[in-house]
Amino acid sequence: MTKWKCNYCNFEADIFSQYYWKCPMCGNPLSLAFTTTGEIIASRNIWEHYRGFMPFRPEKYRGEGFTPLIIESTSSHKLLFKLEYLNPGGSFKDRGTALAVYYGFKMMFKRSVVDTSGNTGISVTLYSKLYGLNPIIIMPREAPEGKKKVIRQLGGVVVEGEGRVGASKLVYNYVNEPDTYYVAHLWNPLYIVGHASISYEVYEEYGVPDYIIVPVGSGGLLLGLIYGFEKLREHGFSDKVPRVIAVQGYSVQPLYTAMYGRSLEGEPSTLADGIMVLNPPRISEIVSAIKSTGGDIVLVGNSEIIRAHKTLWEWGFTVEPTSAVVYAAYEKFSRKIPEKSSILLVLTGSGLKTL
């Protein structure tokens, strides 16, 4: 049985009994408690392949997961690029959404709602239509027009708010309506166990890398990657978890502030719209997860993002600017990484929709 579990106040409940998007007792983000067998089954459907690591298996599959891993050696390091932008909805979010929307379907919701800068909106629309839920996607007015077009063409309704904060506020007009599923990807722990599938794939194809460089907005990707490598260790596949280098922009750096008690001056990072999350609900989990791996955080700005973005495209990686922060961070941080280390860079979202 899969349970909601609050690690702050020990609240527990069967997840199929009632939907909570945060702990009903103390208001903190929930985790999931379920038994993993660690069994890996031969299949091209990731939910079948990794069912021994998942809380349940979604009925539908749209091609999420099993993204390519491209290995490039530099004079000092081995870089592993994970091409998450080749997921069916154009970003890694599909791995979490496939689980999260299936859950909403099983709970008999009729409508899904989410507030997002874009990629989650594409993903939630795609999977909601698949399961017959009507998607309402609440976005900042200034979010990339290309992302809104994709959502509308997939059959989603876009509602615009003033900035990310305005969008988050607008959500409250919907969350308590009947039959409405607030996907709440910043809170929903199904995203974390879904994103962990990236770690399983990297392990199967390459092994456990020494480092991971990962962009942090809500932190769901970072937490998923660490959770995944911890699960692999728990089941005896490996004996280490990579050091995790988190990346944020100078403009929105709650993680840096939480880790170091101060902020860092630097040029704006507005091009990285996908990671501009002011108050990630799991911030304390993120900080302790990074510290547990001996990791760190790197901040980047627009000119570094532009340069990294150009480089990645010329290498054939058609990513959006937000995704380029990992390479910008690598360039900045690489001298601190020992020679011959292997470094996983997660390329999160497609740039084809934001040209």
Q: Please report, as ranges, the residues that interact with a copy of itself according to CB under 8 A.
A: 44, 61-63, 66-70, 83, 86-90, 126-127, 129-130, 146, 149-150, 153-155, 205, 313-318, 350-353, 355
Min dist. Cβ of residue 2 to a copy of itself (A): 25
Pairing of strands 157-161, 180-182: unpaired
Min separation Cβ 353 and a copy of itself, Å = 5
CB of 335 to a copy of itself, least distance (A): 27
C-beta of 318: minimal distance to a copy of itself in Å?
Answer: 7
Decide whether 101 or 300 has the Cβ nearer to a copy of itself. Answer: 101
Q: Which is nearer to a copy of itself, 172 or 315 (CB)?
A: 315
Which lies closer to a copy of itself via its Cβ, residue 146 or residue 268? 146
Which residue, chain included where needed, has tokens 């900035």? 163
For residue 121, the cross-strand partners are none
Cβ proximity to a copy of itself, 130 vs 287, nearer residue: 130
Place of tokens 């900042």: 140
Answer yes or no: are the C-beta atoms of 121 and 93 closer than 8 Å. no
Residue 26 or 71: the one with the smaller Cβ distance to a copy of itself is 71
- What share of residues in the chain are helix, strand, coil (percent, to 5)? 40, 20, 40
Nearest-angstrom CA–CA distance, 256 and 246: 9
Q: Which is nearer to a copy of itself, 96 or 189 (CB)?
A: 96
Upper half-sphere CA count for residue 5 (Cβ side, 13 Å): 8
Q: Residue 161 Cβ, how far from a copy of itself at the closest point, in Å? A: 22
Q: What is the DSSP string of 217-244?
A: SSSHHHHHHHHHHHHHHHTTS-S---EE
How far apart (Å, rounded) are the C-alpha atoms in residues 342 and 238?
15
User: What's the min distance (Å) between Cβ of 327 and a copy of itself?
Assistant: 15
Name which of 27 and 155 has its Cβ closer to a copy of itself: 155
| Burial label, 329 (beta-carbon count in 10 A; 0-12, 13-18, 19+) | buried
Q: Torsions phi, psi of 214, nearest 5?
A: -140, 135
Give me the helix-helix angle, 93-106 and 220-234, nearest 10°.
90
For the bound state, the minimum distance from the C-beta of residue 132 to a copy of itself, rounded and expressed in Å, comes to: 11
DSSP 344: E
Among residues 331, 313, 346, the alpha carbon closest in space to that of 76 is found at 331
Q: In whole angstroms, give the CA distance from residue 349 to residue 351.
A: 7
Report angle CA 203, 62, 70 to the nearest 5 degrees: 35
Least separation in angstroms between CB 264 and a copy of itself: 30
DSSP-derived letter for residue 156 is P
Contacts of 108 (CB under 8 A, 6+ apart): 179
Nearer to a copy of itself, 20 or 61 (CB): 61
Comparing CB distances to a copy of itself, the nearer of 41 and 175 is: 41
Of 251 and 348, nearer to a copy of itself (C-beta) is 348
At closest approach, how far in Å is the CB of 105 from a copy of itself?
14
- CA nearest to 61, candidates 76, 70, 51, 71: 51
CB of 274 to a copy of itself, least distance (A): 16
